[in-house]
Amino acid sequence: MLADVDENGVRALAEAIIAEGGTARATRADITSIADVQRIVDDTVAVYGRLDVAINNAGVMDGGGTDTPAPLHSATDGYLRRTIEVNLFGTMYACRAQIRRFIEQAEGGSIVNVGSVTGLVGNPGTPAYVASKHAVNGLTRALAIDYAQHGIRVNSVNMATTETPMFARAVDAVLAKRAGAPDAGNMVRAGGKSAGLIPRNATPWEQAAAILFVASSEASDMTGSLVVSDGGWTAF
Ligand SMILES: NC(=O)c1ccc[n+]([C@@H]2O[C@H](COP(=O)([O-])OP(=O)(O)OC[C@H]3O[C@@H](n4cnc5c(N)ncnc54)[C@H](O)[C@@H]3O)[C@@H](O)[C@H]2O)c1
């Protein structure tokens, strides 16, 4: 069951999976909507009979439009609010709906929240994103503690630069700031690393592999883990 606020995108993904011989259903959902996240769980149970694993991957690095990341003194309300709303509240609402179902099924369950290296260390010029991803990791640990007694594992996977549309937009934003702003360089100055130990960006496939392992019963001893799949970004 695939859910995304981008209806065309999620339908195209489901079609691609089916074309390769897989099984998939797509639904449009906004994870900041409590009703939508409940519907994802209900639809999954209606179609597949149960919920086994949940991957909470939806996230934003900005508020959309002109609400782009900026150091706090110059950050817009829209950037601050929307980033926290999607990344923290959206993930929290989703986890709540998933955990309620897991408790009802009484057979445990597995949740993987998608964090970021910015949920483990700081990063320049993007305060709400950094705060939201640290919050996702705090939430992950808190839920692991509260629901271990129900056999529910809750972990996060934390990546560095991975070649997705979000990363492409981040590069564009950095280049635009470098070109125009009087405080040019804020996104890449103090604390900004240009690379990890593996000198290339990750692919989405590498992150999917890490997420799938943590989600699966192969990782049956892992809960409350903040897993890194970051090319060594946080090693130094
Ligand atoms: N790409 C990177 O370098 C990188 C690094 C660290 C962490 N991450 C995290 O990985 C996850 C995936 O990011 P990505 O790089 O694929 O970004 P992306 O922007 O390419 O994809 C994010 C997806 O989330 C969806 N989405 C956004 N808001 C939503 C909402 N309210 N409800 C439902 N869906 C919503 C978007 O439509 C999009 O399909 C995010 O949580 C992101 O923070 C990405």
Distance 9 CA to ligand 1 centre (A): 12
Reported as a single tens digit per residue, the pLDDT across 107-152 is 999 999 999 999 999 999 999 999 999 999 999 999 999 999 999 9
- Residue 73 burial (CB < 10 Å; 0-12/13-18/19+)? exposed
Catalytic member of 79, 93, 129, 147: 129
Separation of 60 CA from ligand 1 center, angstroms?
A: 5
Query: Residue 27 pairs with which residues in a beta bridge?
Result: 3
Average pLDDT value for the chain:
93
**pLDDT per residue over 221-235, tens digit each?**
999 999 999 999 999
Residue indicated by tokens 């997705």: 164
Which amino acid appears at position 167 of this protein? F
Q: Are 99 and 152 in contact (CB under 8 A)?
A: yes
Judged on CB neighbours under 10 Å (0-12, 13-18, 19+), 152 is buried
Q: Which two tokens stand for residue 25?
A: 């259903």
List beta partners, residue 206: none
Domains observed in the chain: 53-235 (3.40.50.720)
Distance of alpha carbon 152 from alpha carbon 100, whole angstroms? 11
